[in-house]
Amino acid sequence: MNMRICKTIILLFISGNIFAQSFITSQKDYADSLFFSENYFDAITEYKRLLFFDKSNFYNYDAYIKIAESYKRGGFFDEAIKYFGIAKINPINDSLKCYSSLQIVRCNLLRGTINNAFNLLDEAESKECRTCVNDINYWRLWANILNDDWENALVILETSYKNNELKNLAKNVINEKYSVTFAKVISYILPGAGQIYTSNYLSGALSFGWNLLWAYLTVNALTADRIFDGLAVGSLLWLRFYKGNVENAEKFAVEKNYEVHRNALIYLQNKFEGQKP
């Protein structure tokens, strides 16, 4: 009798384990089906349910990664970073730990925290991603691009990561950009020249004209011994237009450079077929 009871208990225990494992596997398959059909928010719920029932923690890494990727594809980058971070401490191997780290970098690129991305890349390069130099360089390249640092991006393209499409794009952006310093310097020398340099011809002509007018009025007042009028016109009006001319030249150069950078990002978003953040 005791033997029968023992056998029954063992049988029930084994059956329970088989049923539990079957349920967990089915739960995993259901969550995966939601994820791959792009029902990301439902998938998050089901992966969290999987984590609750999977007492063996067998599916921990995969579930956390899929939760993180679901949040990322939904644009919730802070939550994505949180779950990629949890996955990072539950890796199956070093390669997957590196994958989690680089996914965190990509989320930082997408949410615009570029300095964080640079710091994380340096940390990953010295720790978990020491064997993934190409991947590190690739995302460092993207960090420089998104940071509008095309010169350093070109250095990476010419030394570490060779891609002719991106290299040509970087060279074009650098060539199309205006020198903010040069625009200001030539505006100090000849009012309106900075605006003309940045292709704002009407603004340049008006700036030159106004400065010429007030310079003439100032000099005319001083030569006619109208010292007070000369100083008033010179300090209050001519200097105002002269300073405004330099500020406008700087502003136009910055705006033009931003437009060049923005057009390059639009190209990358719509036409570049390589891997993106």
273 in any annotated domain: no
3 in any annotated domain: no
User: How many whole angstroms from its chain centre is CA 248?
Assistant: 29
Whole-angstrom Cα distance, residue 191 to residue 107?
45
Judge whether residue 77 has pLDDT over 90: yes
Judge whether residue 135 has pLDDT over 90: no
For the chain, how many structural domains are there in total? 3
165 and 223 Cβ atoms separated by less than 8 Å: no
Residues 196, 142 share a domain: no
Residues 189, 145 share a domain: no
225 in any annotated domain: yes
Residues 157, 255 share a domain: no
CA nearest 116: which of 107, 126, 125?
A: 107
Residues 45, 118 share a domain: yes
pLDDT of residue 159: 85
Q: Per-residue pLDDT tens for 150-198?
A: 999 998 888 877 778 888 999 999 999 988 888 778 777 777 677 777 7
The residue range of the domain holding 250 is 180-268
Picking from 119, 141, 176, the residue at the C-terminal end of a domain is 176
In the chain, % of residues over pLDDT 90: 29
Residues 6+ away with beta carbon under 8 Å from 87: 60, 61, 64, 65, 68, 96, 100
